[in-house]
Amino acid sequence: MKVISAEKKLCLSCMEEHEVKRVEVQEENVFKGVTVNYPARYEYCNRTDEFLTYDDSLITNDLAFKDAYRERVGLLTSREIVGIRKMYGVSQKDFCAILGWGSSTINRYENYQVQGVAHNDILRKLADDPKWFMELLNRAKDRLPQKAYLKYLGNAKEYYRLKQDEYARAHIETVHMKFDGDRILAGNTDLNLDKVVEVVGYLAQNIADLFLVKLLKMLWYSDSLHFKRYKRAISGLVYVALPMGAVPDAYKSLLLLEGIEYDEMQCNENISFRFKAPADFEIRFLSDTEIQVLDEVIERFKCHSGRDMVVAMHLEEAYKNTPENQPISYQYAESLSV
């Protein structure tokens, strides 16, 4: 028996005034044939040795019981359901409307009723998939107040943005996993996406028109030069030899990372990305020697066009000696033209 608090007051068990303790005890109960243990709270009279419920402890004890059951059978707990709803900042009623459920369903799940597996799966998917939430939200648009709809949409978009970074990181890491242990392909360093984001920000901050082709080549030059000097690349990215030169494996996912920013520009028929440093850009992960190397690469290539970069790349031993679509080894760093 754990004591939560104590207060001198009229005891409703012995009907006398004395110090009454609020306590937590472990209880055992059976729900749908499953025996579970859970913490329950009571007021305790040490004179009658009796436990009494108080305020809404009957309700909260029942909820603790149901949540213990839910945890035991792998269902979302009431708190987790509240968490998913709050993630999108939605009211109970609107959440039901978005899901197409009866208007008090969520209220019941959050307070006393155990949800079935089907509803549980839907809630779990919502927690992981803001894009799907936006689809459901859109479907329910006419049933929601305009202001609320816009608020929920904003929350979902923000969450999606965060998720996107998570997805992109996971993808880049998975792709790089296949090179695991091959130090000469990864530049003798572990993949560090925080540094990648920072290198892109730093290059963008210091180069006026930084488009994708140039950026990707500059990443390779930066890593290669750092390897040449210190036997260790900056980012841990593995680069592949494409016709246009060196490109980090899974580079498309790099563009989705939080902190990598660009404007989309229409050039003739093509869309191109012009990179820019985030407004709050600051160096947190890169070392002084790494910055120094970046400065040299910037100085060398700042006036190169994307096409010039491709030409320069094609003259590098590392590129000439790597078959198309194959990873470029850092073993050629010694012969780097920079």
Three-state SS letters, the chain: CEEEEEEEEECCCCCCEEEEEEEEEEEEEEECCEEEEEEEEEEEECCCCEEECCCCHHHHHHHHHHHHHHHHHCCCCHHHHHHHHHHCCCCHHHHHHHHCCCCCHHHHHHHCCCCCHHHHHHHHHHHHCHHHHHHHHHHCHHHCCHHHHHHHHHHHHHHHHHHHHHHHHHHHHHHHHCCCCCCCCCCCCCCCHHHHHHHHHHHHHHCCCCEHHHHHHHHHHHHHHHHHHHCCCCCCCCEEEECCEEEECCHHHHCCCCCCEEEEEEECCEEEEEEECCCCCCCCCCCHHHHHHHHHHHHHHCCCCHHHHHHHHHCCHHHHCCCCCCECCHHHHHHCCC
Q: What angle do CA 179, 183, 186 make, to 5 degrees?
A: 60
CB closer to Zn ion, 20 vs 75: 20
> Which of positions 141-200 make contact with Zn ion (CB under 5 A)?
none
Q: Does 9 bind Zn ion (CB under 5 A)?
A: no
**Residues in binding contact with Zn ion, number by CB under 5 A:** 5
Compute the least distance from the CB of residue 16 to Zn ion, in Å: 6
Applying CB under 5 A, which part among 9-17, 195-203, 273-281, 307-315 lies near Zn ion? 9-17
| Radius of gyration for the alpha carbons in the chain, expressed in angstroms and rounded | 30
Instruction: Identify which range of 11-19, 73-81, 254-262, 324-332 contacts Zn ion by CB under 5 A.
Output: 11-19
Q: Which is nearer to Zn ion, 49 or 269 (CB)?
A: 49
Residue of 11, 218, 234, 309 that binds Zn ion (CB under 5 A)? 11
Shortest CB 8 distance to Zn ion, Å: 11
* Candidate list 36, 45, 68, 246; residue touching Zn ion; CB under 5 A: 45
What is the rounded distance in angstroms from the CA atom of residue 99 to the CA atom of residue 212?
A: 41
- Give the angle subtended at the CA of 44 by the CAs of 42 and 50, to the nearest 5°: 105
The correct pick among 34, 35, 37, 47 for binding Zn ion (CB under 5 A) is 47
Nearer to Zn ion (CB atom), residue 13 or residue 60: 13
> Residue 15 Cβ, how far from Zn ion at the closest point, in Å?
8
Among the candidate windows 38-46, 134-142, 271-279, 300-308, which touches Zn ion by CB under 5 A? 38-46
Place of tokens 């359901």: 81
Contact mark string toward Zn ion, 100..119, x via CB under 5 A: --------------------
Q: Which two tokens stand for residue 86?
A: 């709050």
1 or 59: CB nearest Zn ion: 1
Nearest CB to Zn ion, comparing residues 55 and 182: 55
Nearer to Zn ion, 43 or 316 (CB): 43
Cβ contact 241:324 at 8 Å: yes
The closest of 60, 57, 69, 51 to 1, measured between CA atoms, is 51
13 binds Zn ion (CB under 5 A): yes
Q: Does 14 bind Zn ion (CB under 5 A)?
A: yes
Q: Shortest approach of Zn ion to residue 122 CB, angstroms? A: 48
Of the two residues 52 and 291, which places its CB atom closer to Zn ion in the complex? 52
Between 14 and 283, CB nearer to Zn ion: 14
Q: How far is the CB of 144 from Zn ion (least distance, A)?
A: 52
Q: How far is the CB of 11 from Zn ion (least distance, A)?
A: 3
- Closest approach, Cβ 31 to Zn ion, in A, equals 31
Looking at beta carbons only, is 18 or 139 nearer to Zn ion?
18
**Binding to Zn ion in span 66-95, by CB under 5 A:** none
Residues found near Zn ion in the complex (CB under 5 A): 11, 13-14, 45, 47
